[in-house]
Amino acid sequence: MIPEAKHLLDWYDERARVLPWRSDPTPYRVWVSEIMLQQTRVEAVLSYFERFLAALPDIHALATVTEDGLYALWQGLGYYSRARNLRRAAQWCCEHNNCQLPDTFAGLRALPGIGEYTAGAIASIAFGKPTVAVDGNVVRVISRLDGLPGDPMALQAPVREQVRAMQPPSRPGDFNQALMELGAIVCLPNGAPLCDACPWQERCAAHAAGRELAYPAKKEKPPRRVEERLVILVTDGSKILLHKRPDKGLLASLWEFPNEPLHGRPTDSA
């Protein structure tokens, strides 16, 4: 094991947060946690995770839950396409793989809702495969460690190569989780990183140069699109008319008040 990997894993063993999917990393629990953690902070996921696992303890339960039951468990987490894809993937597993997750990167990657990062994370954490899992956090950490120029998209490939070179074959999943943990609680995304608490402080190029915040280069965000819509409230005094959105696209399959583009209409019909 190279010294950088040992320093990071020693730090992880001592300092990593205790999280329910880490203490009992079955493939199903790791999968559900990784999907919930997409776009969502650990603190927000914790209460949902236990409730979801209590209601749907295995892949068969997930494959057979109704859409409304699934949405009720997901309510508040947002990005409902994640829940729909979880159920579709569970249904595939029960139809084709004896209600088990595939145990290879390629098999996981082929399931709905599982991209390159998530497939690498599940394969390494749940199945001990030597796969890498590179997201924005890992790009930030490695770009600072090695002083790599470029924006996060351009850095994906070189960062993946670097992680592959550092990852110890004996603990691939722990190494991926240690990198994620370092990015989440030490080499922070917003504000100054906590370099004094970092196991890589003495080896870090950005820290040595005093330029931690220069890596990775910022990418310009496209302007936010604002859409104005006329929302129609129809009620007989006890019930309210709702409409179900199409099963594809923005907020797919969710219920809403009937609405249409505003296009210069008055905003008050009284």
207 binds ligand SF4 (CB under 6 A): yes
d(CA 146, CA 10): 20
What is the C-alpha separation between 139 and 136, in angstroms, rounded?
5
Nearer to ligand SF4 by Cβ, of 87 and 207: the residue is 207
Classified as helix, coil or strand, 118 is helix
Residue 267: φ, ψ to 5°: -90, -5
* H/E element, 120: helix 116-127
**Residue 7 interacts with ligand SF4 (CB under 6 A)?**
no
Part of the chain binding ligand SF4 (CB under 6 A), chosen from 48-56, 84-92, 186-194, 227-235: 186-194
Burial of 267 (0-12, 13-18, 19+ CB in 10 A): exposed
Number of residues located near ligand SF4, criterion CB under 6 A: 14
Pairing of strands 259-261, 255-256: unpaired
The answer to whether 84 touches 90, Cβ cutoff 8 Å, is no
Q: Is 4 a catalytic residue?
A: no
145 binds ligand SF4, rule: CB under 6 A: yes
- Regarding 61 and contact with ligand SF4 (CB under 6 A), the answer is no
Buried b / exposed e across 185-220, counting CB within 10 Å, b at 16+?
Answer: ebbeeeeebebeebbbeeebbbbeeeebeebbeeee
Per CB under 6 A, 139 contacts ligand SF4 = no
Q: CA 155, CA 160: separation in Å to the nearest integer? A: 8
- Judged by CB under 6 A, the residue of 195, 214, 230, 253 near ligand SF4 is 195
Q: Does 178 bind ligand SF4 (CB under 6 A)?
A: no
Q: Encoding tokens for residue 156?
A: 């994906």
Q: Judged by CB under 6 A, does residue 201 bind ligand SF4?
A: yes
Site for ligand SF4 in 92-131 (CB under 6 A): none
Counting contacts by CB under 6 A, is residue 89 touching ligand SF4?
no
Beta bridge partners of 240: 235
Structure tokens at 37: 């953690």
Binding flag, residue 204, ligand SF4 (CB under 6 A): yes
Query: Which residues fall within 8 angstroms of residue 167, CB to CB, at 6 or more apart?
Result: 5, 130, 132, 175, 176
Q: Which is nearer to ligand SF4, 96 or 211 (CB)?
A: 211
Using the contact rule CB under 6 A, the part of the chain among 120-128, 172-180, 187-195, 230-238 near ligand SF4 is 187-195
Question: Shortest Cβ distance from residue 195 to ligand SF4 (Å)?
Answer: 3
Catalytic residue among 14, 34, 227, 260: 34
Residues 242 and 255: beta-carbon distance below 8 Å: yes
User: Which range of residues in 6-14, 66-74, 193-201, 252-260 is near ligand SF4 by CB under 6 A?
Assistant: 193-201
**Residue 163 makes contact with ligand SF4 by CB under 6 A:** no
Is residue 186 a contact point for ligand SF4 (CB under 6 A)?
A: yes
Which residues participate in catalysis according to the annotation? 34
Which residues are at the interface with ligand SF4 (CB under 6 A)? Answer: 141, 144-145, 186-187, 193, 195, 198, 200-201, 204, 206-207, 212
